[in-house]
Amino acid sequence: MGESQILVYLEEMCSFDPQLRVHLLTFEKPTDLSEKERLAAMQMRVKSAGISWHFLRYHRRPRLLASAFDITLGILMAVRICLSSRVKIVHTRGFIPSIIGRGLQLLGVKWLFDMRGFWTDEKVDGGAWARDSLRYKILKSLERRMPLWANQNVTLSFASLDYLPKDKTVVIPTCVKQDRFRHTSSRTLSTFKIGYVGSASFSYDFDAALKAFQQIHLLRPEARFLFLNRDRTGSILTDITNAGLADVSEVRAVAYSEIPRELDQLNGALFFVKQTFSKVASCPTKLGELMSVGVPVLTNTRVGDVERLVRDHRVGVCIEDFNLESIKAGVAQFLELLEDPKVSERCRALAGDYFSSTKASQRYLQIYEQMLSRAER
């Protein structure tokens, strides 16, 4: 289960509307199900929020057969839930669950398609699929139709609206529970520290990030760098060593619950996302987390609404591409911005206005109410 997004929203929605009855259907990896204590704690948390959690085992291989098997089981489970509990709305997150949502819609249930990005293009842009493959062509054709079939859509960025039916699509970015991600220190730290949070592969250009860290080290030799990553600490340490940054860097594998405390020790953070078509519909979760803690960012253009938000609110610097000259110029501007005593305050203001999970949860409830009111006409 996506703890940072799914569960936070549902807990808040149930607290705002005590009459809301939620059934949550997820597919869980075997490794997660094997962590018995963590699973039991999550079950207690979900139950205390008044949510009925139904989870199925996720199957990874053989790839196509496993997906078809999971979708079939999901449809059967979802139909049983809908019939036994008289469900009125099915809310699916992502492309594969939307196949289940479409099936339930044909049975008369209203369907909210929460798309979370252009999934098929992400597969191509990430190198997993070929754009001229039959698999991509079939699934892309289906993905184009999903927003047209759905009763209501949610997307992560205004930049993606040009590719969606605007009359029934709402923008809700990836948001943050702000009482968890909050600024607690004075920010007058003895160590000047720049951070990198999360993935260093797939959609992210870690080589460009390392070049930026090298430039920061040249301009601010006293700077220290913190890398937070749960799964690839070994390969990250190797890359850092090869870049000549091992002596001024620390790599930590931290649980999600520990991230807010770590972010609060940073003067700034950086991340670079590969500039591909699929990213027009993206909103990096880490952006809202960093803004909530008051940490300015060095990042790049052509990623959802990131450029507009960062530049309009003066909470960071966006570079146009990843050549060395652009990185040098971006780093110089970024270090200058970090001297602004008001920048952290602007970050937190943006987070409150735009990345608040409370506001997102209230917006979802409004969408549910509108879908039900339209159904009753």
Average pLDDT, integer, range 131-151: 97
Picking from 223, 292, 238, 236, the residue whose alpha carbon sits closest to that of residue 260 is: 292
Report d(CA 80, CA 279) in Å as an integer: 36
For the chain, domains (ranges, CATH) are 3-175+356-376 (3.40.50.2000), 193-354 (3.40.50.2000)
pLDDT at 286: 96
Average pLDDT, integer, range 1-22: 88
pLDDT at 234: 86
Quick one: which H or E segment has residue 55?
Answer: strand 51-57
Q: Dump pLDDT digits (tens) for 293-329.
A: 999 999 999 999 999 999 999 999 999 999 999 999 9
Confidence check: pLDDT of 4 > 70: no
Average pLDDT, integer, range 83-99: 96
Report d(CA 331, CA 220) in Å as an integer: 11
Report d(CA 267, CA 188) in Å as an integer: 9
pLDDT at 5: 77
